[in-house]
Amino acid sequence: MTTFIQLHLLTAYAPSNLNRDDTGRPKTAIMGGVERLRVSSQSLKRAWRTSETFSALLNGHIGARTRRLGREIYQQLLSGGVAEDAALSIAGNIAGKLGAIKKDKNATPIQSLDIEQLVHISPEERSRINQLVNELITTQREPKEDELNIKQLLGEQAQGVDIALFGRMLASNPEFNVEAACQVAHALGVSAVAVEEDFFTAVDDLNRKDEDAGSAHMGEQGFASALLYSYICISRDLLLQNLNGDEALLERTLRALTETAITVSPTGKQNSFASRAYASYVLAEKGECQPRSLSVAFFNPVRGEDQLMQAMTSLQQQYQKFARAYDMHSELYQLNVENGEGTLAGLLDFVAK
């Protein structure tokens, strides 16, 4: 049976604009007949995997998502003394094995090295490509056909922790796809929200006091405040498989993801709102039962003055309702900042053991 780790988070955000839509307005969703503040799972995952916390805890094991690998190879070849035409040819040949090269008749030769879609490359794979490039620089030659074999470039299995957690899809080489071991729900407000608009002006500091120049700029930006419910589900067994059976790295990854998820906020409009927040409550589950979100606890929006306490109670009660109805019980750990129950260290030990 598969072991699942499930994290249920409640994080309170003061007025902010964590994740914007195409109009600059905070993202929302209708749930239970009312509008809720929403932060997309894509926004959450990017904030986590690019954070200093995640990088420090998993240094050397994090890959990169890019379309510009061909440009990087090209610059590496030029720096090694390879002629420009040869560098363009080699870089294009290598990049073209990882994905379809972008076709644009107006693109410069360097822009024509870009891959159409983002490719997630692990540190081990980047190192393997670097070795090939350095060999070509040393020998001043074009790569041989077998050196451009995709299995030579990417290897049998990526071990980047971000790929292991969040998966990878290579449309041109589906055999190197990686199934995500971690599923992340969109974070949703537990109560109804009213998105407001902040009208602002900027004044030219060099305006003369005797001049009535008015503002140099006027604008508006949306903001909202909410207590967000977040849900994360991790297949421990699949994560271990994606990490090639490395138990030590598995433990580091689980600790890093958990700490990052409860302490790192999305980066949207941080300079304007300083909307950094830690989770006030975490309910962690571990077991072999089929996982499920507890979002139904908030289909009826939380109302009243003490929304945090109400939300925590609703989550706990919803867990008990499911456990009683389906006779499915998991190991539990609670981090409750408000009443002093649990610690970050205790939570990390629970999810990693």
Determine what percent of the chain falls in helix, strand and coil, rounding each to the nearest 5.
Answer: 40, 25, 35
What is the tens place of the pLDDT at every residue in 280-338? 999 999 999 999 999 999 999 999 889 999 999 999 999 999 999 999 999 999 999 99
Rg (CA), the chain: 24
Q: What is the mean pLDDT of the chain?
A: 92
Length of the chain: 353
Render pLDDT for 30-55 as a digit per residue (tens, 0 to 9): 999 999 999 999 999 999 999 999 99
* 331 vs 5: CA distance, rounded Å: 10
Which tokens belong to 263?
């302490």
What are the start-end ranges of the H helices in 31-83?
41-49, 52-57, 69-79
Compute the distance between CA of residue 68 and CA of residue 88 in angstroms, rounded to an integer: 13
Closest CA to 154 of 243, 67, 94: 94
The pair of three-digit structure tokens given for residue 312, joined into one six-digit string: 């925590």
Could you give phi then psi for residue 258, rounded to 5 degrees? Answer: -65, -50
> Which residues have CB under 8 Å from 55's CB, separation 6+?
62
Q: Among 46-60, 125-139, 158-172, 210-224, where is mean pLDDT lowest?
A: 210-224
Q: In this model, does residue 211 exceed pLDDT 70?
A: no
Cβ(18)–Cβ(26) under 8 Å?
yes
Q: How confident is the model at residue 346 (pLDDT cuts 50, 70, 90)?
A: very high
Residue 223: band (very low, low, confident or very high) from pLDDT cuts 50, 70, 90: confident
| Predicted local distance difference test score (pLDDT) of residue 74 | 96
Residue 105 has what pLDDT?
A: 83
Q: What is the pLDDT of residues 153-205, one digit of tens each?
A: 887 666 799 999 999 998 878 889 999 999 999 999 999 998 888 777 777 77
